[in-house]
Amino acid sequence: MPGSANLNVMMKTARKAGRGLLKDFGEVENLQASTKGPGDFVSRADLRAEETIREALMTARPTYGFFGEEGKEIEGEDPTRRWIVDPLDGTTNFLHGLPHWAVSIALEHKGQVVAGVIYDPVKDELFFAEKGEGAWMNEQRIRVSGRSRMIESIFATGLPFAGRADLPATLKDLGRLLPACAGVRRFGAAALDLAYVAAGRYDGFWERGLNPWDMAAGLIILREAGAFVEPIREGGDIFADGEVLCANEAIFPQFAKVIRG
C-alpha cells in the first residue's frame, strides 16, 4: 500500500475535515425545517472545512502552494508543488441532507498530479492513489471494472442545471448513450463519480463544465486503477476545457465514440 509522507498528510487531513463536515451534516439535516434556510450554514461548513485543510496542509508543508475552491490561490515558495482542494464536493447533496459528498485533495508536482485522496465521511470510504503505486479504497486495492459490453455497463455524468450552456450537448449524449447501455446515474458529486469508476462500480464517466478541484484527485486514482482518461474533445486539455471522459480499456473506444458523436 502506498504510504509516502505526503500521502499520509493528505489522508489525515481529509479525515479531519471529514469529521468536521459530518458534525455539520448532522445539523444541516435538522435545519431542513427551520425558516433560516440551510444555505448560509452550508457555505460556512464549506469554508470551515477548507480552513481546516489549508491549515493542516500548510503546517505540514509550508512551502507548497494551495489552490482551493473557496479561498484565493496561495503561491508557494516552492513553485513546483501545490495542493488542489475541494473541501466539499457535492454541496447541493449536503444541503439537502443527501448522504453523498466528499472531501478531495490532490498534490501537483511540476504540473502533474502525483497523489490524490477522495474521502466520503458518511460511508467512511477513503479512495487514494500515488503515481506508480496503484489505487486503493481503505485497505483494499481497487481496479476498473472488467466489463466489455456497453449494454451491460452503467455510466455516470452530471446533468447541467440552472440554465447552464452545456445542456443541449448533454441531452444529445444521453440520446445516443441510453439506448446502448444498462443505465446512466447522476449522483451529484463528480469526485465520487471518478472514484467509483476507479473502483469498478461504474464502467465510465463523462462530464463538461468541471473545475480542476473537482477532478484533480480523481484523475490519478483513475489512472492508477487502470482507467483510460481523455478530454472529450480529442486533442483538448482536461483541466483547461473542464471536461473529461473515462472508462475501462475494453469499453473506452465504444463509449468515446458514442459521446463524441
Query: Please, which pLDDT band fits residue 70 given cuts at 50, 70 and 90?
Result: confident
- Are 243 and 207 a contacting pair, CB within 8 Å? yes
Residues 256 and 249: their CA atoms lie apart, in Å, by 11
Q: Tens digit of pLDDT for each residue in 101-158?
A: 999 999 999 999 999 999 999 999 999 999 999 999 999 999 999 999 999 999 999 9
The answer to whether 41 and 47 are in contact (CB under 8 A) is: no
Q: What CATH number does the domain located at 5-142 have?
A: 3.30.540.10
Q: Where are the domains of the chain?
A: 5-142, 150-260
pLDDT tens per residue across span 23-48: 999 887 776 545 455 667 777 888 99
| 172-217 per-position pLDDT tens digit | 999 999 999 999 999 999 999 999 999 999 999 999 999 999 999 9
Q: Is the pLDDT of residue 14 over 90?
A: yes
Amino acid at the residue 53: I
Tell me which amino acid residue 175 is: G
Give me the pLDDT at residue 3, please: 82
What are all long-range contacts of 226-232, with beta carbons under 8 Å and residues at least 24 apart? 226/143, 226/144, 227/144, 227/197, 227/198, 228/252, 230/256, 232/206, 232/208, 232/259, 232/260
Query: Would you state the CATH architecture of domain 150-260?
Result: 3-Layer(aba) Sandwich (3.40)
Name the β-bridge partners of 119. Answer: 103, 126
Model confidence, pTM: 0.95
- The 10 Å Cβ neighbour count of residue 35 is 5
